[in-house]
Amino acid sequence: MSDEHTDTTPAWIETSALAAPALLGAAAGLLLGDVMHRSARRGVGIGLGALGIAALLPFVVDGVAGLITGPRSKVGVRRKIQKIRDAGIGAPAYDDVDEQLREQGLI
């Protein structure tokens, strides 16, 4: 089935996941480097580290949400079954050809 091979991850989640290691690396470099004064270096490093962790959060939340509501979880199976049941109900009878004939006054 094609459900297993489709990628539904939004682009902004992938972007933030790719930016996180760079931010964490910059934080580590500032914490370990002797370029800045110790107190300034610590503050900037902790800030960049927090920003890197915040950039990873959407990726983690999306992964956890996929485990909880994914197609192989109980919730995902229930949702799929409900969609199948709802598809059987269908919309009320509507025929595009009948509507066009009514507009032209032929019916």
Predicted structure pTM score: 0.46
pLDDT (tens digit per residue) in 54-91:
888 888 888 888 888 887 888 888 888 888 887 766 66
Cα separation, 69 vs 63, in Å, equals 10
Binned at pLDDT 50, 70 and 90, residue 46 comes out as confident
Q: State the amino acid at position 73 in one-letter form.
A: S
CA dihedral over 29, 35, 38, 39, signed as positive or negative:
negative
Cα separation, 4 vs 42, in Å, equals 44
Residue 103, judged by CB atoms within 10 A of its CB (0-12, 13-18, 19+), counts as: exposed
Closest CA to 13 of 48, 61, 49: 61
pLDDT (tens digit per residue) in 3-21:
555 667 677 777 777 788 8
